[in-house]
Structure 1
Amino acid sequence: MFARRFLVPLLAALVGLSAVLPAAAQKAPEFTGIATWLNSKPLTMQGLRGKVVLVDFWAYSCINCIRTFPHVTQWYQKYKDKGLVIVGVHAPEFDFERQEGNVRDAIKRYNITYPVAMDNDLKTWDAFSNQYWPAEYLIDKNGNIVSKRFGEGHYLETENEIRTLLGLPPLQGNEAPSTLGQVGSPEMYFGSDRQEFLASPESGRLGTRDFTAPARLELNKFALVGAWEIGRENATLVGANGEIRLHYKAAKLHMVASAVTPTTLEITVDGKPQPPVTVQASMLYTLAEGSNYNDHVVTIKVPKGSFHAFTFTFG
C-alpha cells in the first residue's frame, strides 16, 4: 500500500495490509478538478444520490491496486444493475500516470469497465483527505460516507457492506487468507525524492555518475552498477549497459520501469536464470514469481541505455 504523505503505519507499508476505519457521519465531497472522465460522461456526487457509490482511489502502476482489480470489477458486474455505481479515481503517483493514453491502456489491460475519473492534480484526493493507494470509500444513497478501507483485503466484508446498502442479504463464508504478511521487504524507490535503500557507495543525489556494488548486499538494499542518472522520480541508465542488484525477502518481485525502445532484461534470482522480461511502456513489470518467502538476491542486467527504473515492489 502506498501512502503519498508517508503516514501509513510501518507494518501496512511493508506488506500492504488493509486498514479499516469507521467513517464518521460525513457527506461525500464532490469530484473536483477531474482532467478527464473515461468509460463515462462526467458524474457528480449530487447526481448519484439514490445510488450506492464506491469510490476507489488507485494508480495504475500500484501493485496493491492491481491486486484489488478482480474484486472491484466483479462487484461492478454483479451489482451495477442493482443500484451500485463504482467510480475509480485515478490519482497518479508518477508523472507518466498523468498521461491519458497510459491510463486508457491500463483500463483495457485490466478490463476496467466502470467510470474512471483522472484526478491528475489530486484535487478529489485532497477533497476526500485521502492518503493511500488503494483506498475505498463506500457511500450510501443519501450521499454519506459509511466506511473507509485502505489497502488490500477485507473483500467479503466490503461486498457485504455493499449488499446491505442495496438491501440484499449478506453472503456467507470466510475471507481467503492472505500471504502478504510474509513479505519482508518495503517498496523501494530509485528517484532522489524517496530513495533510502541504495547500497552503492556513490551518492544517490540528483546527477549522473558511475555506480558500483558493495561486496556484500544487505537485506532490503539495492545497488546500481554502471553509469546512471538519478532524477527525482527514477534512475536512468546512461551507459551502454548496466546492472541492478537487490537483496529482498518476498515470493514475487515487481518493478515499475520504462524504456525508450524495447529493452529485454536478463534476470537471475539466487544464481538461477529467470524468463527474460522486455520493458518499454511505463508500467509495472513482474520480474520473478516464486512460492517461498525466503531471502533472495536478484541481478538484473540491462543491455542498453535509456532504461528508467522507478520502484521495486513485492508480493
Structure 2
Amino acid sequence: MAKGRSIGFIAAALVAAGAVTATCFGDALGIAQAQSAPFGATSRPLEVLGSAKPWLAAVPGGPQALRGKVVMVNFWTYSCINSLRALPYLRAWNERYGDKGLVVVGVHAPEFAFEHDAAKVRLAASELKVGYPNLQDNDYAVWQRFANKGWPGFYFIDADGRVRGYRIGEGDYASGEQLIRKLLAEAGRDLSDVPVSPISGTGVEAEADWAHLGSPEAYIGYDKAKNFRSPGELRKDRTASYAAASDLDLNSWDLTGKWSVGHEFATLDGAAGAIRFRFHARDVHLVLGGASDGRPVRFRVTIDGAAPGANHGTDVDAAGWGEVREDRLYQLVRQRGGIADRTATVEFSRPGVRAYVFTFG
C-alpha cells in the first residue's frame, strides 16, 4: 500500500482502563498534525506530569525541573511496532537538543497485561536504549488528561508550558524536529551548532516499507481476532484442538495443535503447535510471551514451507530458529528481495508460549 497521506492500517484496542480507546497508528500522516493540543486536553500539561507516578526513570531535578524547558512527551508501549519505529527519532532529539533546553519524556501506556509490570518495562527500556525520563501510566490517567488518541502520540510543549503541537502515528518526523527547533529558538536557545541530519533506524526500528505493506495488525485473542481459518470457530477460554486450514487467503491465519484462546492471547497447551499467517509485507513481527516456568521456548519460522535464509528477522537465524525468553515483540521475517503474498509458519517446541498479535512493516 502506498504511503502517501493515507492513515495506513488501524487496529482499535479497548483498554481495560475504563472507557479509554487506544489505537495503534501505522501511518498517521494527515490524521493529527495540530498546532495545539487535541480537544479536551489539559491546558496545564506540566502540572499533570508533576503529579503523575510512578517514574521508571526520573526527570533530573524532579518534574518541577521541566518548567522553563521545551518538553516533548511521547506516549508509547514497548511491544507496539509503531512505537518502536519512533524510537530512533526520540533518541536523536534527546541527544541533539538535551543540552539546549529540550526534555524528552516517555509515557508508557500499556496495551497488554504484561506491559503493566514495571520491571519488564524497565528491562525493555534499557534494552531499547530509552535514556530519557520515562513514566508508567498503567491506569491511563496521564493519557486521559492529555486526551491522547493512540500510539505513538507526540506532544510539543513550549517553555511557557503550552502545548504547541500534537501528532499521532508514524511519519513527518522532519517537521516535528523543526517545531522543536522553533520552540527552542523562541526560548532563546542558540542552535547554530546543532545541524539537522537524517535519522534512520536499524533492525526492528527501521522504517516500514510502506509501498509494499499490504497486511494489517492481526490479533490472536478472541476480543479482536479476525480472519481465522482453522476448521470451526475459536473456542473461548478453554483448551481445544485446532487443525490447519486447507488454504489461507491473504491476511488470514490458523492454528494447529492444542491451544487455549483467551481474550488477549492464545496459549499453546499441547506438546507442540503452530500458527500460520498469509501476509504481504517486508517484515513480519509477532508479540510473544514466555512460558510460566521461566524456561525458554524454542520456535522455528518458515516462509512458504522453507527456511527463511537471508529473509530471516532479527530474532531468528537463517534456518528460522528463535527462542522466546521475554514478553515482547519478535521480528520473524525481513525480506531482502521482491515482496509477494507469502505464508509464515511459526512452530513451537513445547507448551506455555503465548501469542498476542502479528504486526508488519
Same fold (TM over 0.5): yes
Q: Is the 8 A contact 1:73 1:113 kept in 2?
A: yes
Show CA shifts across 1:24-71 (max 9, x none): 367243138744212215854x65221100000000001111111111
Q: What are the residue-to-residue correspondences of 1:129-144 with 2, within 5 Å?
A: 129-144=147-162
Residues in 1 aligned to 2:157 and 2:44: alpha-carbon distance in whole angstroms? 7
Partner residue of 2:27? 16
TM-score normalised by L of structure 2: 0.79
Report whether the alignment pairs 1:189 with 2:189: no
Residues in 1 aligned to 2:51 and 2:279: alpha-carbon distance in whole angstroms? 39
Greater than 6 Å deviation, 4+ residue runs: 169-178
Q: 1:17 to 1:290 in 2, by over 3 A?
A: farther
Q: CA deviation at 1:110?
A: 1.0
Q: What are the residue-to-residue correspondences of 1:14-163 with 2, within 5 Å?
A: 15-18=26-29, 19-24=31-36, 27-29=43-45, 30-31=48-49, 34-41=52-59, 43-44=62-63, 47-163=65-181
Q: Is the 8 A contact 1:33 1:123 kept in 2?
A: no
Q: What amino acid is aligned across from residue 218 of structure 2 in structure 1?
A: M
Q: 1:38 to 1:289 in 2, by over 3 A?
A: same
Q: 1:190 to 1:248 in 2, by over 3 A?
A: same
Give the match's secondary structure for 1:273. coil
Residues in 1 aligned to 2:127 and 2:107: alpha-carbon distance in whole angstroms? 17
- The number of aligned residues is 310
Q: 1:127 to 1:92 in 2, by over 3 A?
A: same
Partner residue of 2:259? 228
Q: CA deviation at 1:307?
A: 0.8
Partner residue of 1:310? 356
Q: What are the residue-to-residue correspondences of 1:259-298 with 2, within 5 Å?
A: 259-260=290-291, 261-274=295-308, 275-291=320-336, 292-298=338-344
Q: 1:4 to 1:148 in 2, by over 3 A?
A: farther
Give the match's secondary structure for 1:77. helix
Q: CA deviation at 1:173?
A: 7.7
Report whether the alignment pairs 1:258 with 2:304: no
Residues in 2 aligned to 1:187 and 1:59: alpha-carbon distance in whole angstroms? 15
Q: Is the 8 A contact 1:32 1:124 kept in 2?
A: no
Report whether the alignment pairs 1:219 with 2:250: yes
Q: What amino acid is aligned across from residue 217 of structure 2 in structure 1?
A: E
Q: Is the 8 A contact 2:36 2:166 kept in 1?
A: no
Show CA shifts across 1:72-96 (max 9, x none): 0110011111000111000000010
| Aligned-CA RMSD value | 2.5
Residues in 2 aligned to 1:304 and 1:92: alpha-carbon distance in whole angstroms? 28
Q: 1:106 to 1:52 in 2, by over 3 A?
A: same
Q: CA deviation at 1:2?
A: 5.6
Partner residue of 2:229? 199
Q: CA deviation at 1:280?
A: 2.1
Q: Is the 8 A contact 2:209 2:281 kept in 1?
A: no
Q: CA deviation at 1:234?
A: 0.3
Report whether the alignment pairs 1:180 with 2:226: no
Show CA shifts across 1:167-210 (max 9, x none): 14796788989632421111011111111132222222332211
Q: CA deviation at 1:7?
A: 7.9
Note the residue ranges of structure 1 that are not aligned, 5 or more in a row: none
Partner residue of 2:3? none
More deviation, 182-191/292-301:
292-301
Note the residue ranges of structure 2 that are not aligned, 5 or more in a row: 1-9, 15-20, 186-190, 201-206, 309-319
Q: Is the 8 A contact 1:28 1:139 kept in 2?
A: no
Q: Is the 8 A contact 2:273 2:349 kept in 1?
A: yes
Q: Is the 8 A contact 1:2 1:133 kept in 2?
A: no
Show CA shifts across 1:7-27 (max 9, x none): 86xxx85x4344442133672
Q: What are the residue-to-residue correspondences of 1:2-13 with 2, within 5 Å?
A: 3-4=12-13, 13=25
Q: CA deviation at 1:304?
A: 0.8
Q: Is the 8 A contact 1:35 1:120 kept in 2?
A: no
Residues in 2 aligned to 1:174 and 1:106: alpha-carbon distance in whole angstroms? 26
> How much identity, in percent, do the aligned residues show?
36
Q: 1:175 to 1:106 in 2, by over 3 A?
A: closer
